[in-house]
Structure 1
Amino acid sequence: MRRFGLWFFTCAMCIFGGGTAAYGQSFGVELHNTLMPASGGMGGVSIARPQDLTSALNANPAALTQFHGTQFIFGGGWAEPTFNLTQTSNIPSIGTPLIEPFSAKSTAPGTPLGNIGLTQDISELGLPATFGIGFITTAGGFADFRHVPESHGTNTGQTIFNMPVALGVDLSDRLAIGASLSLGIAFFDGPFVGVGGMTSDYALRGTLGMNYLLTDSTTIGGYYQTAQSYEFDNAFLLNPGVGQTSADVEMDLPQNIGIGVANNSMIDGRLLLGVDVVYKLWDQADMYQAVYDNQLIVQLGAQFTHGRYRFRTGYTWAENPIDNTPGANIGGVVQPGDLAAVRYTQGLLAITSQHRISFGIGVTDVLPGIDMDMMAGGMFRDTEQLGNFTTSSIESYWIGLGLTWRFGRGACCETLAPDSWSDI
């Protein structure tokens, strides 16, 4: 049974922050910075020189030292995927089927999502450091085939929010380090053959980062992020009633390693180019190690500044994470139907598109001390054959907008706001 209080809180959080619908624009199930107001327009590039503070909170905390004064950002977005699933045999193949052949589009709707952050430098205390806190939509997805009788109520979803607390410190004029600790809350309805229910859990995640100003125009950065380990009690239920079988599900967001470089040496410093490389260790993540392989992601981004305007574009290549030799044990659950059931679960988690593009624009001082960033992106359609009987296809687009209030100097070690508004 799903308790009303849990459903109420889940729905409220989805309206406020929103999970990604149908695993649209994520890497596996994790978003990284692809939906941040500024970084999202650059393909998520943000490790060395993030253009919005929530990107630093969510990835490399050492980059927080680039944000001066007091800054607050409120960002939101909309993700709209198209997810199709085809199953051509019964699961299990012998006996009463839990899944029958069908082909349908998921009815999970597009959803809103949000990212909020606040940074404060503490240089007035004589400390070369910046402190930040935030509320970040980290991961998630929904797929719903309950409108198809043959799916026997197939419906899965997960949403993960994180509340990071981070600190970046300048050790010298060129070297900065940072660390963050994040509390995550996850809502999970497992992608299993059988009966599941929405359950929740909390978990911690840590991040260590470093930035180095290699030249006056080139910055390199990197970070390591720990796994975030959840355990969902009684998340899997088979044959409800007398003699029912239930199991807890262990699920990790994976360890991440990111390296980035950014350069603004061209066109008098008005053209910023960035490259990020992220490696995701799915093979060491509970539950996902059975369905995903380790994944490499390459993000390319550019930003051109013209007066008060910043024009952005980005491209991302993401390695297909699907494991061609999946394991039978998925987070502690062994499903009826053997390999066919595992492949069906993979189909519900198949974010296989390798190519994504994005565009964005930023406007400085739309009102005194307030900047606005807008972005849009898309993921090209991809179809994946999973074993002999399951096929999935996915494509999506997303849009986003954010407002940043800057009290004092602006981001990226550059003064964005004038000293006196009467001078405008």
Structure 2
Amino acid sequence: MGQKQKKAIIGRRAGRLAGLKTSGAGRIVAAAALTCATGAAHALNTGTDMNLSFKPASGGMAGAAYTKPQEPSAAVFGNPATMTQLRGTNFGIGAAFLVPDVDVHQSGAGGSRTSSSDARNYVIPDTAVTHEIGGGWFLGGGIELDAGIGVDYRDDPITVPSVSTDPGVSGLPLLVELISFNANVAAAKQVTERTAVGAALTIGFGLAQLGTSGPSGSFGGLLGPAGCEPATAGSCGFDGNTSSVHDVGFGASIGLTHRLTSALTLSAALKSPVKYKFKNILHQSAVGSPGFQDLTVEQPLEAIVGMAYDVTPNWMVEADVVWKNWSSAETYQDVYDDQYLALVGTQYRTGPWSLRFGYSYAEDILRDTPSNTLGNLRGLGPIPLGAAAGSLGTDVVKLVQMTLVPVIWQHTIAAGVGFDLTSNVRVDAFGAYGFKNEEQRTTSIGAALAGPVGPETYEAEVSAWAVGAGVNFRF
């Protein structure tokens, strides 16, 4: 969508949008303190995964910490072989504060409108410990928020044309909330003077919601059961069809580091998927017998290679490449493609200070042509998905891409600082910004639902801020 068209749309909507909340207040960044997460969050640019980009020290290097991490959590949850670099006992605790900003611009037969997500403020806790037990062996463990995503359009519904006794634009109060906590237990061995190996076991705990919640206006009368009239839309079962559910999943990771020279270290790691089966998460009345459906969500397989180079004893540069197998991860494979991430970070130490900078680039993650369902769901309320829906299902999933899973920013910059309070205690802080990016999909959802009307275009506009802080203890 061109800038002129955007300005025209915004102008036409100015009167009706005057009462909408602006995102400015939501962008005020406060210092993060350790607390429990209240929900899921958009990762900075790694799909729904957090990777290492929200940890107190690694966050300042844009997550480039798979080869020479600066904190125990990055070792336990990144490449477990790197625990051998953390001599003695290391304990870290911290949190990050994330502010995603998601706007969806809709234009077409239903007029033009902008819907903004209310899910903006999230806290991401992080803690881990490593210990050198002797004989070249190291143990570690920790708890982190590994993955999550959250958007909420209940106060500002996504719109499509509809058939109604009062024709016009109907609202879809869509929302999604996914959070995945990981608890890792890890071990590492210094095999030779230059080579180390490690492995970790992961126990995941996932919480999820997906669907609609709240009134949907005349849209509730579409494709409802026989005898369901628009005037009685509330009885059609579309006003709210999601439930809050949870599950437990398991995974593992292995890693290797090799010091090629006194200055250059190479690394490789592999992280298995963690799969959750969320039972009775979404109700449908479109195909066969009405009822709740299960949805399996799988955080993807990851392969990582990296290198770190000590330019001087006080200046280190690291570069890592991460490959994410979204195309084989259940449910995500319906909306996402495989993805490469390039992470570059540097740290310079001067006196008690550690200065950090980083940049990351992510490939475009959204599939050009998505599936016609999500994880074999048969329907979304009264709207069919899968084989029974045909092209309508694909259009609905395109809408999902633009509204529920638009993790589309590709460029992220980060900066951080560490300060040694004593020889045993260091405090770290970071800030990061995911630059605004836009994607759009054109659908025929209006024609399918409302009759002979033109196509609808949905454009997602997304950016994000994050800050974090923590304390690291060395004994």
Aligned CA distance change for structure 1 residues 87 and 339 (closer, same or farther; 3 Å)? farther
Greater Rg over alpha carbons, structure: 2
Structure 1 runs not aligned, ≥5 long: 1-13, 94-99, 408-424
Residue 152 of structure 1: which of 166, 172, 181 is its match? 172
What amino acid is the match of 1:325?
T
Deviations 1:220-277 (A, max 9, x none): 111011111111111111249x95232110110000000010010x2x3211000000
Shift of 1:143: 0.5
What amino acid is the match of 1:353?
W
Task: Give the % identical residues.
Answer: 26
Q: In 2, Cα distance between the equivalents of 1:87 and 1:25? A: 24
Q: In 2, Cα distance between the equivalents of 1:129 and 1:19? A: 36
Residue 219 of structure 1: which of 252, 265, 268 is its match? 265
What amino acid is the match of 1:392?
A
Pairing 1:138–2:146 present: yes
Pairing 1:382–2:437 present: yes
Pairing 1:107–2:121 present: no
Q: In 2, Cα distance between the equivalents of 1:398 and 1:20? A: 14
Residue 419 of structure 2: which of 330, 352, 363 is its match? 363
Residue 405 of structure 2: which of 341, 349, 353 is its match? 349
1:48-127 superposed matches below 5 A: 48-88=67-107, 102-123=113-134, 127=135
Pairing 1:312–2:343 present: no
Shift of 1:192: 7.3
- 2:447 alignment counterpart: none
Pairing 1:282–2:326 present: yes
Equivalent residue pairs, number? 378
RMSD (Å) for aligned C-alpha atoms: 2.1
What amino acid is the match of 1:363?
F
Aligned CA distance change for structure 1 residues 66 and 368 (closer, same or farther; 3 Å)? closer
- The 8 Å contact of residues 306 and 318 in structure 2, kept in 1 or not, is answered as yes
Pairing 1:300–2:312 present: no
- The 8 Å contact of residues 170 and 176 in structure 1, kept in 2 or not, is answered as yes
What amino acid is the match of 2:247?
D
- 1:253 alignment counterpart: 299
Deviations 1:117-152 (A, max 9, x none): 0111101xxx21110010011010210110135433
Aligned CA distance change for structure 1 residues 32 and 207 (closer, same or farther; 3 Å)? same
| Partner-residue secondary structure (3-state), 1:31 | coil
- 2:250 alignment counterpart: 204
Shift of 1:104: 1.2
| Partner-residue secondary structure (3-state), 2:348 | strand
- The 8 Å contact of residues 327 and 336 in structure 2, kept in 1 or not, is answered as yes
Deviations 1:17-69 (A, max 9, x none): 35453x25141100100011111101100111011110111110000111111
What amino acid is the match of 1:157?
E
- The 8 Å contact of residues 19 and 139 in structure 1, kept in 2 or not, is answered as no
Pairing 1:230–2:276 present: yes
- The 8 Å contact of residues 278 and 295 in structure 2, kept in 1 or not, is answered as yes
- The 8 Å contact of residues 102 and 460 in structure 2, kept in 1 or not, is answered as yes
Aligned CA distance change for structure 1 residues 18 and 270 (closer, same or farther; 3 Å)? farther
Runs of 4+ in 1 over 6 A off after TM superposition: none
Residue 463 of structure 2: which of 367, 383, 395 is its match? 395
| Partner-residue secondary structure (3-state), 1:62 | helix
What amino acid is the match of 1:174?
R
Pairing 1:405–2:473 present: yes
- The 8 Å contact of residues 26 and 139 in structure 1, kept in 2 or not, is answered as no
- The 8 Å contact of residues 122 and 131 in structure 1, kept in 2 or not, is answered as yes
Shift of 1:299: 0.5
- The 8 Å contact of residues 175 and 211 in structure 1, kept in 2 or not, is answered as yes
- 1:291 alignment counterpart: 335
1:1-40 superposed matches below 5 A: 15-21=35-41, 23-40=42-59
Q: In 1, Cα distance between the equivalents of 2:352 and 2:119? A: 39
Structure 2 runs not aligned, ≥5 long: 1-33, 158-169, 214-237, 385-391, 444-456
Shift of 1:329: 2.8
| Partner-residue secondary structure (3-state), 1:64 | helix
| Partner-residue secondary structure (3-state), 2:47 | coil
After TM superposition, the score normalised by the length of structure 2 is 0.76
What amino acid is the match of 1:31?
M
